[in-house]
Chain A
Amino acid sequence: MSTSKTRERGAAIDIRDATKRYGKFTALDNVSLHIEPGEFMTLLGPSGSGKTTTLNVVAGFTDLTAGDLSVGGESIVGVPAHKRNIGVVFQHYALFPHMTVGKNVAYPLTLRGVEKGERERRVKAALDMVKMADFAHRYPSELSGGQQQRVALARAIVFDPPLLLMDEPLGALDKKLREWLQLEIKRIHRELGTTFVYVTHDQEEALVLSDRIAVFNQGRIEQIGTGRQLYDEPATLFVGKFIGESTTLRGKAETSGDETGLTIAGQKIVAKEKLAGGETPVILLRPEKLSLAAAKAPITNGQNSLAGQVSEAIYLGSGSKYQVVLRDGSIAVVRSSLEAKPFTIGDEVDLRWSVEDSKLLADDDRADMTLT
């Protein structure tokens, strides 16, 4: 989190009822999103979910069909991209191949009429920030992908934009480099205090980087929240399945008082929640909330239990991961600590979890379709 002093440099963003249609296709459907000054906001979602369209709308590359957009309190609808003063980092780097690294970074300053001495000072500072100062006289073609993206980042921040947009900037890099650059981006965000909007389809990346995450699906925002909120309290089945690993259970439902009961292959399980009328309930479980017990072992109070058979057992070093086939054919994912009793493939087991950990959500077949 940024300090209140640096926060002043970032701009707030307000997107209200934004809709974008391409002919009959709706890329953005009534999206509203508020981003705090200096916040690191990630737009997360699968391909075609509208996250990049949102970014392009903010950058000014795409016009809205309906809705309003303001940065720092002023509406910028209709303002062309080059007058918005917003930094953009692209997945494909977009460095100008005919200019050296130094010239690339100086480009936005030259356009703004910054005089030479000042320009050189700021180019140096920006390159220092991304640790590329030694490469100022190289051409982009002489740099690796990671180096090119750092230069692109320097170029996008050198003119001190109050807002920086990043469109899957690490998408083309390998895993190791990506993880290191994630930390670099976090550091730069902390040092600059600029508002960052980051687009990715990688939920782990989103969790590492963001203050808050907006989960996109089919042109809508499913939920906005911190990584912890999204993981622990998913608002929709889609969010629950998109963030982290999960097991979903479906069965015949009945409500009594504040509880919802689900009957799965003859066994009844409970969740301490209930849904509004007319919705089919699904129970979503996180793997670390689940435990395995030998079949027919005694149950403590307040626990749910489902019988199954271990179909996969993976040793992870820090613990073990199991796949368990339940009686109704669905598959549960369980993560257990090293201290827990180990099981092997074929063992008959009972899947156990606390009643409070049953997360009750409305069923939504779109959640499955989009993920596959």
Chain B
Amino acid sequence: MNQTIDTTTAGGSDPRPAGRAASEPRRWRLADYPSLLTVPAILLLIAAMAYPLLTIVLRSFSEPEWSLQNYVWFFSTPVNLTVLARTFSISAWVTIVCVIAAYPYAYLMTTVGPRMRLVLIMCVLVPFWVSGVVRTLAWVILLQDSGVINSTLKAIGFSSIRLIRTQTGVVIGMAQVLLPFMILPLYSVMRGIDLRLVQAARSLGARPALAFLQVYLPLSLPGVFAGAIIVFILSLGFYITPALLGGPRSTMLSTLVQSQVLSLLNWGRGGTMGVVLLVSTFVLLAVAAPLMRQRHKQASRS
């Protein structure tokens, strides 16, 4: 059916200026160039994001003099590589913990009644109600050697474990901060899954576990990907939580960047680390883009 012509011209004004026919030359109109409305935002982004980032990239090459020395230094110093690897491994752990915790939680959200669902959503949102820094302080209180967790462990007869200033502590704290970013996209995808598909699989003879693995899990994967990508990328740049909960053995790249710039005033090396972090983030995004697109297809199908 060739319905396009009638419907596309039905509403809105035609963006193309009229040619010879319109007796007078048409007035220039803002409405003909909607992209102009984004100019203030673009200018602001250039001033407060692009220009600063460019400055950092330039300094990573130019300080103390024009060369690749900062990059050579970064990739030839074992400490840096250890921290880089740790940044990735902590981010990976945080992502895994988030997926494991969020998947059943989001699933439960889709199966309970509206009142219980509100309670579950509130539990996800409550952490946002307290300042991020205060929340990290709470984790210090909870995780410290004489803290709530260790007191509880001792009270029920276990030996205390060291959590504060360890990687485990950092992962626990970061995952809690990032969990909502995992639960919410997962929930929105799961909500769109037609549960009758699972019933159909059951009726065709699949046992519950098999029906889940072959029908529900593949349909929910786009949500897992979307959440995991967000969590991983945010983890890479985390600063406050590892700074307060972590010790020297759980330093992440952000902390190194900060100390290079603020404590050592070494803009070249700090900038180099920043560029490495930035590039890692965008490479990850580029790799993840196809998975996100798959999510789109899925969403339009359901």
Contact = CB atoms under 8 A, between A and B. Distances in A.
Contacts of B10: 52, 56, 61, 90-91, 167
Contact of A48 (B4, B14, B22): B4
Interface string B208-237: 000000000000000000000000000000
B126 interface: no
A49 B6 CA distance: 8
A45 to B, nearest CB: 9
Contacts of A61: 9-14
B6 A65 contact: no
Interface in A295-331: none
A23 to B, nearest CB: 8
A25 interface: yes
Contacts of B1: 47
Interface string A41-59: 0000001111111001000
A56 B1 CA distance: 21
Nearest to B2: A48
A342 interface: no
A47 B2 contact: yes
A67 interface: yes
A277 interface: no
A63 B11 CA distance: 13
Given A48-B4, A78-B24, A27 B9 contact: yes
A64 B9 contact: no
A66 B2 contact: no
Given A47-B2, A47-B3, A78-B24, A65 B9 contact: no
A56 B9 contact: yes
Give the interface size class of chain A.
Answer: 20 to 34
Contacts of A51: 6
Contacts of A180: none
A67 B18 CA distance: 11
Interface string B1-44: 11111110111111010111111101000000000000000000
Contacts of B23: 77-78
A64 B21 CA distance: 7
A66 B20 contact: yes
Interface in B129-158: none
A64 B22 contact: yes
A65 B2 contact: no
A62 B21 contact: no
A220 B21 CA distance: 18
Contacts of A63: 14, 18, 21-22, 26
A91 B3 CA distance: 14
Top 8 nearest A-B pairs (CB, nearest first) are A66-B21, A48-B5, A63-B18, A52-B6, A47-B3, A48-B2, A62-B14, A64-B21
Interface of B: 1-7, 9-14, 16, 18-24, 26
Given A19-B21, A61-B11, A66-B19, 18 more contacts: A22-B16, A25-B5, A47-B1, A47-B2, A47-B3, A48-B5, A50-B5, A52-B5, A53-B9, A56-B10, A61-B9, A61-B12, A61-B14, A62-B14, A63-B22, A63-B26, A64-B18, A81-B13
16 contacts: A22-B5, A27-B5, A47-B2, A47-B5, A53-B5, A53-B6, A61-B10, A61-B12, A61-B13, A63-B14, A63-B18, A63-B22, A65-B18, A65-B20, A78-B24, A90-B10
